[in-house]
Amino acid sequence: MERASCDVLIIGGGGAALYAAIHCHDANPRLDIMLACKGLVGKSGCTRMVQGGYNVVLHPEDSFDQHYDDTLRGGSLINDQELAWTLVTEAPKRIFELENRYGCFFDRNADGTIHQRPLAGQSFNRTIHRGDLTGIELISRLTEQAFARRLRVVNDLRGVDLLLDQGGRRVAGAILFDYHSGALVRVQAKAVLLATGGAAPLYRITAASIEKTGDGLAMAWRAGAELIDMEMMQFHPTGLIAGGGAITGTVLEEGLRGAGGHLLNAAGERFMERYDPARMERSTRDRVSRSEFMELRAGRGTSEGGVFLDVRHLGKDFLLRSSPGMYRRCLSVGYDMATDPVMVTPTAHFQMGGIRIDRDCRSSLLGLFAAGEDAGGVHGANRLGGNGVAESMVFGARAGDAIAAYLKDAGGATPDRDRAENSAARFTAAKGRAAPGRAYELRAEIGDLAWQNLGLIRSAAGLDQAAGRLAEIEAALAETPVPASAARDPAFAERLNVENLIAVARLIRAAAHERDESRGSHFREDRPETDAGAYYNLVQRRDPSGTTSIQRQAVAFTRRRPEDLAGDTVIAKAAPRPALHATEI
């Protein structure tokens, strides 16, 4: 095993990881910061895929209280209220910094103010954007800032396991896998940040970057960190259907529904009238996705398993100005949004559950921090569109600042040697035999299983079936040999992916079974009602013996009580369409 060391090890390469690295460096330029990315920094992960935009209170008629209440209502009131308040109140600070220090630019109204568009589930049009390519704008500028600071960036280096001290409660680094050399690398670090993204690609149809396989979540679970509300997986209602190609599932962003797009079943009916007649297509993502799934189950979908998003009435000029990227994408697979309804499907999109953190991104393990989609608690049972990238920016920055502050007083810990050797042994036990492509088959099997049993609609019977099947898949993976050399071997990389996906799937399954009600994105067909008094979070933790416990913990109503938020969000009226400074197609 190769060895390396640093002060701060950041595992990830998306928006939260980059923002954390930048802030940590600026807080203390003397720190040795290592940024280890599974793919290419700035070119992998999901931040660069963000289309809809970033929620922020800027307009004088909007307020922190409105944004906050929308976020709690959207999360079915099980959000961590202090995390949600931090998100809302610090989002403007990050926008000021992104524009004025880092060079980001967002679309403007004709009077020079930042344009804000409507996204679903919100009481005000507060989503800022750069056309429909907001993520590329953000990730490009953050990557430039990281390189300008000459941070130590290593590509194609993925996390495998966390290193703990002998007592097992303090993180001392991590074991990484170098795709090009095939070697395991033991990195000793004083602090570790997990920002690897969630595990939406667990599902057969997904909008997420395919390399996001729950690596950080699985690493934290194996190390004994607390995880929260892992049953909460968000499905986006408008994933593009493009035959059997990999592009199927790619999101057509929420701004199209927010601007007045219609969802139609195969008979041409606006079916949301059946499920949420007050909000229609501007209902929250969980309700719209589940409504689509119900239409499909009732036989009112297309033969390809979809429904239609119809934006023809919005006009070609508006579509070209507001959504040039999506317009091109749809053209590339045979749809002209200006003249054709586009076939769409629910698609696995975002993990609301994750590592349990406080406001400074500290986990339950000393020295371990988490940000972005690896962290849970901010969104509760359902994330509002536009709150995801805001979370990455707000908590990425906070993580960097918090790590720098932590290292003013904290020294390093010595990794437990036995744990490191046991971790390495998982990948060397069967060396010498050629690895077949079985890992790819197992991943496809997990995708189908998750879609059917852990997806939009769940039941006790289906969850029990999933438990047995996951055990069979894990046994099959254990029998899959390890290659003599794992250097540049995609099959071995897929083996690591499958191992982590199994771990995350089990956590989701156990939490979904424990929450015997329906709430937000979690819908139990055998328990379809929401328990009015069931305001609890589910906390999971693996003990040193390997047993994972699950506990219900009451939500702390530190700022709002349920009676303060009675009723649904009042949906903002459609805003006028001002002239935008956006690139024409």
Q: What are 584's two structure tokens?
A: 């024409």
Rg of the chain over Cα atoms, rounded to whole angstroms, equals: 23
Q: Which of 204, 236, 279, 515 is catalytic?
A: 236
From 16, 337, 69, select the one nearest 195 (Cα to Cα): 16
Can you list the alpha helix ranges (DSSP code H) found in 75-214? 81-100, 134-148
The C-alpha atoms of residue 355 and residue 216 are separated, in whole angstroms, by 9
Provide the 10 A C-beta neighbour count for residue 172.
26
3-state helix, strand, coil in the chain (%, to 5): 35, 20, 45
Provide the 10 A C-beta neighbour count for residue 331.
14
* Side chain identity at residue 458, one-letter code: R
The C-alpha atoms of residue 453 and residue 105 are separated, in whole angstroms, by 42
* Side chain identity at residue 519, one-letter code: R
Secondary structure class of 543 (helix, strand, coil)? coil
Are the C-beta atoms of residues 192 and 176 closer than 8 Å to each other?
no
Residue 573: DSSP 8-state: P
Q: Are strands 262-264 and 307-310 parallel, antiparallel or unpaired?
A: antiparallel
Q: Which of 67, 170, 257, 279 is catalytic?
A: 257
Secondary structure class of 407 (helix, strand, coil)? coil
The C-alpha atoms of residue 187 and residue 157 are separated, in whole angstroms, by 11
Measured in residues, the chain has a length of: 585
Full DSSP string of 182-197: --EEEEEEEEEEE---
What is the side-by-side strand order in the sheet with 227-228? 375-376, 354-356, 227-228, 536-542, 548-554
The C-alpha atoms of residue 372 and residue 194 are separated, in whole angstroms, by 9
For Cα atoms 143, 145, 151, give the angle at the middle one, nearest 5 degrees: 85
Q: For residue 95, give every residue at least 6 positions away whose Cβ sits within 8 Å of its Cβ, in sequence order, or none.
A: 54, 56, 58, 106, 114, 128
Tell me, yes or no, if 257 is annotated catalytic. Answer: yes
Phi, psi of 477 (to 5 degrees): -65, -40
Are the C-beta atoms of residues 557 and 82 closer than 8 Å to each other?
no
* Side chain identity at residue 490, one-letter code: P
Distance of CA 536 to the CA centre of its chain: 22
**Residues with a known catalytic role:** 236, 257
